[in-house]
Amino acid sequence: MPEVLGPTPPRPLTVEEAATRRRATPTFDSSRGLDSDLLEKILRLATLAPSSTNLQPWRFLVVRDPANRRRLQSCARNQPKVGQASVVVIVLGYHHPDRTHLEPMLALQVESGACTPERAAEIRGRAASGFRDLTDRALWATRSTMLAAATMMLAAESLGVASAPMEGFDEEAVKREFGVPEDHSVCCLVALGYAAVEKPFPGRFDLDEVCYAEHFGRPWTG
Amino acid sequence: MPEVLGPTPPRPLTVEEAATRRRATPTFDSSRGLDSDLLEKILRLATLAPSSTNLQPWRFLVVRDPANRRRLQSCARNQPKVGQASVVVIVLGYHHPDRTHLEPMLALQVESGACTPERAAEIRGRAASGFRDLTDRALWATRSTMLAAATMMLAAESLGVASAPMEGFDEEAVKREFGVPEDHSVCCLVALGYAAVEKPFPGRFDLDEVCYAEHFGRPWTG
């Protein structure tokens, strides 16, 4: 399915086009900066991802300053793309939005008319019991946060911006250097900018390798 | 930004349109089945998500049979949408693809010319040391798997198919009922089908609530 569509999309790409064209960009063109309005649009689109109870546990720590990117690079196995890319987003997952953001989120919904006060009370009650039983908050926050990270990369690609997700970093070093509190996980880094070279499609396993029908291990036949 | 675009897109949507239009669908129209070719296309697009070392740890257990959906519903707090939606995908994260899928993945890349044998050897070496230090394999697998889940939902929306991500389920019950081995996490369920009613946009926090500039806690100003 993947094919190369040329260097810059003349119009926003469809999801299929963006998913097909996107690469984990190995080398960025450090001479090309990312426009601030375009960056803001990509970040805003990323926040449209769904999340558990709409608590939006993602936090985007946006690193643009070259000296800060070099500091981040030193926490990320010295990967050159951290220094090259115009922007690197430290994608964080916040563990306790139920304690600090449930009421603001419900207020937002009630004010906009998306939800009645009665329904808000229901959500409040369900959240109270759901979060009481939650044992692994880092895992919980990571789930929704990675939905936002994927949305960010597809949105970028759709708008002609290359990306690279990275998980090769020292989480404790990143947190120390950038003042990230203990109750946030560093889920990934996402570099954004323009690719210096075109990368070939590395391939994917066929669906019969990764899909099952009705029961684990039962072959997918379409 | 969000606006309603009408019931069925006349053409595949852009990423912005799909992200804006997508809702966590609360109620599915149980009378409308999802075409098999369309489902296969959505699954295939989901596999284009990036993953750590391209190991593609996601596994999609596709549940379409009504009796199996009822069984799944009983493992998922009896949520009616599990029974209503045409398809529910149990989205799994496999913990050990480095042990079973690294060589097939590298072979695929070398065969297609996307990677030289020398580069494959480099990746093999780096993976060996990277996976040795990996402590939380459920978290590791969940990261890439949620990228695929987000891609699945955006691809669906782009093609006129509604979705609903769910994390309200008993993981052990799902694994037992559907034969999922211990070394796979149930990351989420994704229902796919057609919405029975339109859901209003529940809102998102502004960027100044979830974005920071250069350092944690430093206000984002665009």
Span A145-187, pLDDT tens digits = 999 999 999 999 999 999 999 999 999 999 999 999 999 999 9
* Interface residue A79 vs chain B (CB under 8 A): no
Rounded to an integer, the average pLDDT of B12-38 is 96
The chain-wide mean pLDDT, for chain B, equals 94
Identify any residues that bridge with B24 across adjacent strands, giving them in sequence order. Answer: B163
Band of the pLDDT at A8, cuts 50, 70, 90? low
Tokens of B94: 């496999």
User: Which residue's structure tokens are 């692994």?
Assistant: A136
Provide the pLDDT confidence category of residue A133 given band limits of 50, 70 and 90: confident
Identity (one letter) of the amino acid at B152? M
pTM of the full predicted structure? 0.96
Mutate to test the interface with A, among B17, B42, B48, B105 (most CBs of A within 10 A): B48
Q: Residue A80 is encoded by which pair of tokens?
A: 């050159």
Tokens in use for B105? 């993945």
**Pure H helices in chain A:** 15-21, 36-46, 66-74, 80-84, 97-100, 102-112, 117-132, 137-158, 171-178, 207-210
User: Quick one: tokens of B79?
Assistant: 């949520």
Q: How far is CA A218 from CA A50, B13, B22, B187, in A?
A: 30, 33, 31, 19
The stretches of chain B forming alpha helices (DSSP H) are: 15-21, 36-46, 66-75, 80-84, 97-100, 102-112, 117-132, 137-158, 171-178, 207-210
Q: Return the residue of B nearest to A215 by Cα.
A: B178
Taking the CA atoms of residue B76, residue B78, residue B80 and residue B83 in that order, the dihedral angle to the nearest 10 degrees is 70
Closest CB from B45, B109, B179 relative to A202: B109
Q: Which of A47, A112, A215 sits opposite B179 (nearest CB)?
A: A215
Q: What are the two backbone dihedrals, phi and then psi, of residue B73, each rounded to the nearest 5 degrees?
A: -55, -40
Question: What's the burial of A76, exposed, middle or buried (CB within 10 Å: 0-12/13-18/19+)?
Answer: buried
In B, minimum Cα distance to A47 occurs at B204
The pLDDT, as a whole number, for residue B10 is 75
Residue A169: closest CA among A88, A100, A115, A114: A88
Task: Answer for the pair B81, B28: CB distance below 8 angstroms, yes or no.
Answer: yes
d(CA A82, CA A195): 13
Encode pLDDT of A34-65 as tens digits: 999 999 999 999 999 999 999 999 999 999 99
Q: Which residues of B are less than 8 Å from A178 in CB distance?
A: 214-216
B3: pLDDT strictly greater than 50: no
Is the pLDDT reported for residue A141 higher than 90?
yes
Per-residue model confidence as pLDDT tens digits over B116-174: 999 999 999 999 888 998 999 999 999 999 999 999 999 999 999 999 999 999 999 99
pLDDT level of residue A7 (50, 70, 90 thresholds)? low
Predicted local confidence at residue B8, as pLDDT = 60
A169 touching B (Cβ < 8 Å): no
Cα separation, A201 vs B44, whole angstroms: 15
**Is residue A127 over pLDDT 50?**
yes
CB atoms within 10 A of CB A47: 22
Q: How far apart are CA A208 and CA A205, in angstroms?
A: 8
Q: Tell whether B4 is within 8 A of chain A (Cβ).
A: no
Q: How far is B86 from chain A (nearest CA, A)?
A: 13
Tell me the average pLDDT of chain A. 94
pLDDT at A1 over 90: no
pLDDT at B4: 43
Q: Which of A111, A123, A136, A210 to probe the B interface (max B CBs under 10 A)?
A: A210
Phi, psi of B211 (to 5 degrees): -115, 145
Q: How large is the ipTM?
A: 0.96
Q: What angle do CA A20, A1, A29 make, to 5 degrees?
A: 35
pLDDT at position B5: 45
Q: What percent of chain A stands above pLDDT 70?
A: 96
Spatial distance between the Cα atoms of B58 and B185, rounded to a whole number of angstroms: 10
Side chain identity at residue A186, one-letter code = V
